[in-house]
């Protein structure tokens, strides 16, 4: 979870301790001399601002490196972000299953817990159970609750960024407008006894895309991930940032109309998710005498080589590929990643067939179509990264340093 490429946009006396930390985290300036050059600050001012970061425990000195300054002198001591001073909690909710984890500030998963958690049971029960999972995971990781600096949560629905509340989620009955941040914060405190920490909530496909792009495709300026599980959603990362649209609804491709007559869980007819999601495939399998309740059941059938599941997954891939031809033409991504329960060979075969048939050749000439590298941990890694980027953004760093009295 290193800092995103870019510039602080600050120079001279305007460059704060937070700006210096961002330069170090991103690797753009990792010595005192390089920080002076990047910001125009004097040596004394750089030293004063770095001292605040050292006192907070957020920065440490590394090994001496080669002389990199045109001023010459002895080898410079490098500066490093100290990821040992805190940990992050992250959770990923699906319709019938969830994961919770403890992560370092640089994205390493230290401990995790997974199990059945039915989202239709409602936010009060589900978020309360997550609080218990967090407490157990901290114990397994050997970390105290007091070391937690924030919590990230991935949910299968559109999220309003400002409030952290889901907005009219088709597959999350009872969650619309609920105060997720407040309930999860209370659940954390109830089960650990620790004070409240910041809670960030984001759509699961967005966080999967964020985690995958940062860890596996950091140089890709336009990255699209499509999650095909019980529902269908897409996450878009442009220039290192999640693209959410004006109210968090970007990427909700599962509700694009595709001309079919199937009734979707959103109440409309003909949505892509109603005919091509894992849930839709599960329903068709059940109607054919092969019991399947969700996308995860379809995944298990595909892993076992079930021929009817494979045929329906390929058909679903063709439906999704038809829609993705428009997505690819519109966004011109460098990487299109397919993830989720259906992301296997039958689905990919059908998807590629229609995508390359319908999209403009120019739109696919430099397109890499790949599958997930992080697998079921993608949203956890993305959620952890989102928390770290929020808490260690320059302005937030200044607020936190003041609160710490340094």
For the chain, what percent of residues have pLDDT higher than 90?
A: 86
Between 238 and 64, where is the model more confident?
238
Overall residue count recorded for the chain in this entry: 406
Q: Torsion angle, CA of 283/286/292/296, rounded to 10 degrees?
A: -30
Per-residue pLDDT band at 329 (split at 50, 70, 90): very high
The pLDDT of residue 226 is 98
Element (H, E) at 283: helix 278-287
The pLDDT of residue 76 is 77
The pLDDT of residue 66 is 53
Q: What is the mean pLDDT of residues 285-307?
A: 94
Q: Torsion angle, CA of 252/254/256/260, rounded to 10 degrees?
A: -170
Between 333 and 5, where is the model more confident?
333
d(CA 195, CA 252): 35
The pLDDT of residue 62 is 87
Q: What is the mean pLDDT of residues 207-221?
A: 97
Per-residue pLDDT band at 269 (split at 50, 70, 90): very high
Evaluate if residue 74 carries a pLDDT over 90.
Answer: no
Q: What is the mean pLDDT of residues 44-55?
A: 97
**φ/ψ bin of 166: left (φ > 0), alpha (ψ from -120 to 50), beta (otherwise):** beta
Residue 83: exposed, middle, or buried by beta-carbon count in 10 A (0-12, 13-18, 19+)?
buried
d(CA 230, CA 276): 10
295-303 vs 307-331: helix crossing angle, rounded to 10: 120
Element (H, E) at 336: strand 335-339
DSSP state of 2: P
Per-residue pLDDT band at 10 (split at 50, 70, 90): low
Q: What is the per-residue pLDDT across 347-382, written as a single tens digit (0 to 9) for each?
A: 999 999 999 999 999 999 999 999 999 999 999 999
The pLDDT of residue 302 is 96
DSSP string computed for 34-49: HHHHHH---HHHHHHH
Between 6 and 118, where is the model more confident?
118
Structure tokens given for 23:
């330069």
Per-residue pLDDT band at 7 (split at 50, 70, 90): very low
Per-residue pLDDT band at 79 (split at 50, 70, 90): very high
Evaluate if residue 11 carries a pLDDT over 60.
Answer: no
The pLDDT of residue 2 is 47
β pairing state of 109-116 and 222-228:
unpaired
DSSP string computed for 117-151: --GGG-HHHHHHHHHHHHHHHHHHHT--GGGEEEE
Q: What is the per-residue pLDDT across 114-145, written as a single tens digit (0 to 9) for each?
A: 999 999 999 999 999 999 999 999 999 999 99
The pLDDT of residue 64 is 64
Structure tokens given for 354:
């229609």
The pLDDT of residue 351 is 97
Q: What is the mean pLDDT of residues 50-72?
A: 78
Question: Closest by alpha carbon to 255, among 121, 158, 354?
Answer: 158
For the chain, what percent of residues have pLDDT higher than 70?
A: 94
Q: What is the mean pLDDT of residues 141-170?
A: 95
The pLDDT of residue 178 is 97
Evaluate if residue 278 carries a pLDDT over 90.
Answer: yes
The sign of the dihedral angle between the CA atoms of 186, 191, 192, 198 is: negative
Residue 329: exposed, middle, or buried by beta-carbon count in 10 A (0-12, 13-18, 19+)?
middle
Evaluate if residue 71 carries a pLDDT over 70.
Answer: no
Evaluate if residue 315 carries a pLDDT over 90.
Answer: yes
């Amino acid at each position: 979870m290193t800092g995103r490429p870019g510039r602080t946009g600050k120079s001279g006396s305007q460059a704060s301790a937070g700006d210096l930390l961002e330069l170090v985290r991103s690797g753009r300036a990792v010595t005192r001399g390089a920080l002076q050059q990047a910001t125009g600050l004097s040596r004394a001012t750089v030293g004063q601002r770095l001292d605040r970061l050292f006192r907070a425990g957020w920065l440490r000195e590394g090994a001496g490196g080669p002389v990199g300054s045109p001023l010459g002198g002895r080898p410079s001591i490098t500066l490093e972000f100290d990821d040992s001073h805190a940990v992050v909690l992250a959770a990923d909710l699906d319709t019938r299953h969830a994961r919770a984890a403890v992560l370092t500030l640089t994205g390493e998963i230290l401990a995790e817990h997974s199990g059945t958690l039915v989202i239709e049971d409602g936010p009060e029960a589900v978020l309360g159970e997550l609080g218990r999972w967090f407490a157990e995971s901290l114990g397994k990781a050997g970390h105290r609750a007091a070391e937690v600096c924030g919590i990230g949560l991935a949910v299968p629905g559109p999220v309003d960024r400002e409030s952290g509340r889901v907005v009219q989620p088709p597959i999350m009955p009872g969650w619309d407008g609920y105060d997720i941040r407040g309930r999860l914060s209370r659940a954390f405190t109830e089960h650990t006894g620790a004070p409240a920490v910041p809670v960030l909530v984001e759509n699961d496909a967005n966080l999967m895309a964020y985690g995958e792009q940062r860890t596996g495709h950091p140089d890709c300026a336009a990255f699209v991930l499509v999650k095909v599980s019980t529902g269908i959603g897409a996450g878009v990362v442009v220039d290192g940032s999640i693209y959410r649209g004006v109210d968090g609804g970007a990427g909700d491709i599962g509700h694009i109309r595709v001309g079919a007559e199937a009734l979707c869980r959103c109440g409309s007819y003909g949505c892509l998710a109603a005919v091509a999601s894992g849930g839709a495939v599960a329903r068709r399998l059940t109607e054919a005498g092969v019991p399947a309740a969700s996308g995860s059941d379809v995944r298990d059938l595909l892993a076992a080589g079930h021929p009817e599941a494979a045929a329906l997954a390929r058909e679903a891939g063709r439906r999704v590929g038809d829609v993705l031809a428009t997505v690819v033409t519109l966004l011109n991504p460098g990487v299109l990643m397919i993830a989720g329960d259906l992301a296997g060979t039958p689905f990919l075969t059908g998807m590629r067939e229609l995508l390359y048939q319908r999209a403009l050749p120019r739109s696919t000439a430099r397109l890499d179509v790949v599958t997930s590298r992080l697998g079921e941990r993608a949203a956890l890694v993305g959620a952890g990264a989102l928390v770290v980027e929020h808490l260690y953004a320059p302005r937030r760093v200044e607020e936190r340093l003041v609160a710490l009295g340094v």
